């Protein structure tokens, strides 16, 4: 299980533990906080389950750009693709590709210690290119659940042909909207991440993944930095 999700549950549990108070006003505040924690935990649980399943999703980014995420469990691998690059994570390697000047260059590095699962390092790198990842959304929801002054409204919608639960959060002068499908895939996000505007929306989802989703882009220059094996 990703560390970000584990942290979320710990924080949400601390919210619930803090609700064992007395007094009418305290109970009213506690009820609101408990509802927020329940909602956050539900969305986090969906994303946790999705990280343990096989699926592929296409996303619409601002300016008509597109991105995609694909993952399989057997073999364990995932790929994050955006207009100017791609990161593929497997049990054998991490491959990072970037497009510049009409050419694509890829660097193949040793596998992550997480045995083929994406890590904070991968998520952080993907975020640099406009991709919104589950840990980033989990962090924002956790902060909102722990903020008694936060206003969290729940709605439902359909994105990419799939039902999604959405939360519209307003707190400390900031606002964001995040939607998660019933399958646990991030359906959309609009707001600010790391001080930068972020906008992403699901356009297609499937529970089958083509093997080519994990291939190095055609014609790319590849440098393999993995140690030679005897």
Q: Is residue 209 part of a domain?
A: yes
**Domain membership of residue 57 as a residue range:** 3-224
Give 87-146 pLDDT, tens digit per residue. 998 888 999 999 998 899 999 999 877 655 666 667 777 777 778 887 788 788 778 877
The CA distance from 190 to 206, in Å, is: 23
- State the total domains in the chain: 1
Higher pLDDT residue, 194 or 202?
A: 202
By mean pLDDT, which of 75-84, 144-153, 204-213 is the weakest?
144-153
Measured CA to CA in angstroms, residue 5 lies from 14, 101, 151, 171, 195 at distances of 14, 38, 22, 21, 22
Give 155-198 pLDDT, tens digit per residue. 999 999 999 999 998 988 789 999 999 999 999 999 988 788 89
Report the percentage of the chain scoring pLDDT > 70: 79
Q: Is residue 174 part of a domain?
A: yes
Neighbours of 215 (CB within 10 A): 13
Neighbours of 20 (CB within 10 A): 8
Kindly list the strands in the beta sheet with 174-181, ordered across the sheet, starting from the edge strand earlier in the chain: 151-159, 162-171, 174-181, 186-193, 196-206, 55-60, 66-73, 76-82, 85-90, 94-100, 103-109, 221-224
What pLDDT score was predicted for residue 57?
95
What pLDDT score was predicted for residue 12?
40
- Is the pTM higher than 0.85? The answer reads no
Asked whether 176 and 140 are in contact (CB, 8 A), the reply is yes
For residue 24, give both structure tokens.
Answer: 């009418």
Q: Is residue 229 part of a domain?
A: no
The domain spanning residue 100 has which CATH number?
2.50.20.10
Measured CA to CA in angstroms, residue 144 lies from 137, 152, 174 at distances of 11, 8, 11
Q: Kindly tell me if the per-residue pLDDT of 47 is higher than 60.
A: yes
Q: Kindly tell me if the per-residue pLDDT of 62 is higher than 60.
A: yes
Residue 87: name the closest of 103, 104, 73, 102 by CA: 104
Burial of 101 (0-12, 13-18, 19+ CB in 10 A): exposed
Spatial neighbors of 202 by CB under 8 A, at least 6 apart, are 57, 58, 59, 60, 159, 160, 162, 164, 181, 185, 186, 187, 188
Q: Is residue 230 part of a domain?
A: no
The CA distance from 36 to 227, in Å, is: 48
The CA distance from 8 to 14, in Å, is: 10
Q: Kindly tell me if the per-residue pLDDT of 18 is higher than 70.
A: no
Q: Is residue 137 part of a domain?
A: yes
By mean pLDDT, which of 14-18, 32-36, 151-155, 212-216 is the weakest?
14-18
């Amino acid at each position: 299980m990703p560390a970000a999700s584990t942290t979320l549950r710990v924080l949400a549990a601390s919210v619930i533990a803090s609700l064992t108070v007395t007094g009418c006003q305290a109970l009213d505040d506690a009820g609101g906080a408990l509802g927020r924690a329940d909602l956050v935990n539900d969305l986090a649980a969906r994303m946790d389950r999705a990280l343990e399943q096989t699926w592929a999703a296409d996303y619409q980014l601002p300016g008509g750009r597109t991105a995609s995420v694909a993952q399989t469990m057997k073999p364990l691998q995932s790929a994050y693709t955006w207009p100017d690059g791609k990161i593929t994570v497997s049990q054998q390697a991490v491959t990072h590709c970037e497009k510049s000047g009409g050419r694509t260059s890829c660097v193949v590095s040793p596998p992550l210690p997480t045995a083929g699962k994406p890590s904070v390092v991968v998520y952080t790198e993907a975020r640099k290119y406009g991709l919104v990842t589950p840990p980033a959304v989990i962090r924002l929801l956790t902060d909102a659940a722990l903020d008694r002054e936060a206003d969290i409204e729940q709605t439902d919608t359909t994105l990419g042909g799939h039902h999604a639960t959405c939360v519209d959060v307003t707190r400390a002068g900031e606002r964001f909207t995040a939607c998660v499908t019933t399958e646990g895939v991030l359906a959309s996000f609009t707001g600010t991440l790391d001080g930068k505007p972020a906008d992403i929306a699901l356009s297609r989802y499937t529970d089958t993944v083509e093997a080519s989703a994990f291939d190095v882009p055609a014609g790319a220059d590849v440098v393999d930095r993995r140690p030679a094996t005897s």
